[in-house]
Amino acid sequence: MNALIVTIHVKPDHLDKFIPATLENARGTRGEPGNLRFDVLQSEDDPTHFVLYEVYQDAAALAAHRDAPHYKRWAAAVEPWMAEPRQRVRSGALFYGDAEAGE
Domain holding 25: CATH number? Answer: 3.30.70.100
Q: Is residue 84 domain-resident?
A: yes
Residue 71 lies in a domain: yes
Is pLDDT of 86 > 80? yes
Q: How far is CA 32 from the centre of its chain?
A: 13
pLDDT for the residue numbered 102:
58
Query: Which pLDDT does position 97 carry in this prediction?
Result: 77
Task: Identify any residues that bridge with 38 across adjacent strands, giving them in sequence order.
Answer: 54
Output the pLDDT for position 29. 97
88 neighbors 2 (Cβ within 8 angstroms)? no
Domain count, the chain: 1
Query: In this predicted model, which residue has the larger pLDDT, 94 or 53?
Result: 53
Per-residue pLDDT tens digits for 46-65? 999 999 999 999 999 999 99
